[in-house]
Structure 1
């Protein structure tokens, strides 16, 4: 029993940390200047966070690596993406934030001019009317994306400290354009492969209506993992420059 008490002690007490040292000068006060401060300093924090930090369990984001995404599974088509690398996340910028302190709601809008996903694909089914079973290299370019992440911070008490437990709404997103490229779609028949890629890119909005929610879940997981991992070990008192019960 004594050893159990020691384990509980270390989980509750020892894991408590301040923000990473490279982020402490980027905190903002909960005053009327919070929005302007958060946009400036939050944007400055993104490339620092993107480097990753094992101490805080923050993943490396330049690039962010994803082992597998089952993009489509249906009776007529199976499309899997593997060994994915996401480039450009470290260049995201915060362009707006809405805050409701009474609800502890933060709605952050980010923009990214160039986010590129590369990896491998495997497909088994039909594209248009043509049966296809193949694999090859895959790339997707997300041009001028706008991402809206809304979270509500629930309160948790551990020891004598208060922690946030962030809960996110589904990520909202919009793109100026999305470009796809799937190599070796029909083996050596490059003409048909190029025609299919052209068709995909001419109809990217329809494709995003189908595949967009899955892509949004990928991007959302990147964001939520960062907030979840920081919130798990950093008490509220270290997040803002002043008392978190301050009201605008």
Structure 2
């Protein structure tokens, strides 16, 4: 469903999926040294320094604009018993990703552990949708425009790393990863449900908005697994592109 799509994209590092090889990391990032006693502060400052450039994107290293972030298509399938749903979204536009607040950064290089807590005050998603199935015995079928607004979205992710040698250089690897998220409130609207039946469409939209917390309880484990998979892909791409010494010089 719509909320599912938003949360899969609301990870602050998602633009780096398209990162390209460059001659110098320092051209784009304030590199932090491993022996820095305030490495968490250094990483936070590096992200904050990069933030203004993320709004319009950095084309030369494959980072798309964040405001809004444009996604061509997402297809989702959920079957948890109470929810059996197939949905697809196209021409997706997401506003608010660049306004994230970094709440906490933990870096334990001795134990190869990193944790990031990010807060999104407000997120808005607009897209074309196609959906069919049921949510808590409520049938859901339609195709048209959709809109979602989400406030106070908190995402916590952790990653445990290892190392290996590639082409004579030490690179980080992903050993374990996890994600937890919480949402303060949400409102969604799906136009043209049930072939434009206004009464039924209004009833279903009302049901979705009144029961979003119960719905989220059902799909949250799957969502967190999906988000962890996305972060793993991002981290693996980053670690493959740059060596450990380039990312965190000794």
1:125-136 alignment to 2 at 5 Å? 125-126=133-134, 133-136=141-144
> Which residue of 69, 81, 84 corresponds with 2:88?
81
Q: Does 1:120 align with 2:128?
A: yes
Contact kept in structure 2, 1:164 and 1:235, CA below 8 Å: yes
Q: Which consecutive segments of 4 or more residues in structure 1 shift more than 6 A? A: none
Alignment coverage as a number of residue pairs: 226
**How far does residue 50 in structure 1 lie from its aligned partner after superposition?**
6.1
Give structure 2 stretches of 5+ with no counterpart: 1-20
Q: Report SS of the residue matched to 2:178.
A: coil
Q: Does 1:36 align with 2:4?
A: no
Q: Which residue of 2 aligns with 1:65?
A: 71
Q: Which residue of 1 aligns with 2:164?
A: 156
> Which residue of 201, 207, 210 corresponds with 1:202?
210
Give distance in 2, aligned partners of 1:108 and 1:221: 16
Contact kept in structure 2, 1:104 and 1:152, CA below 8 Å: yes
Give distance in 2, aligned partners of 1:195 and 1:97: 43
Cα deviations by residue, 1:140-181 (Å, 9 ceiling, x for unpaired): 222111111111121121233211123452311111112221
With the length of structure 1 as denominator, give the TM-score of the two structures: 0.75
Contact kept in structure 1, 2:159 and 2:178, CA below 8 Å: no
CA distance 1:211–1:198, change in 2 (3 Å): same
Give distance in 1, aligned partners of 2:186 and 2:172: 35
Give distance in 1, aligned partners of 2:193 and 2:48: 39
Give distance in 2, aligned partners of 1:78 and 1:95: 34
Q: Report SS of the residue matched to 2:111.
A: coil
**How far does residue 52 in structure 1 lie from its aligned partner after superposition?**
4.9
1:13-28 alignment to 2 at 5 Å? 17-19=23-25, 21-23=27-29, 26-28=30-32
Give structure 1 stretches of 5+ with no counterpart: 1-14, 244-248
CA RMSD of aligned residues (A): 3.0
Which stretch shows the higher mean deviation, 107-116 or 227-236?
A: 227-236
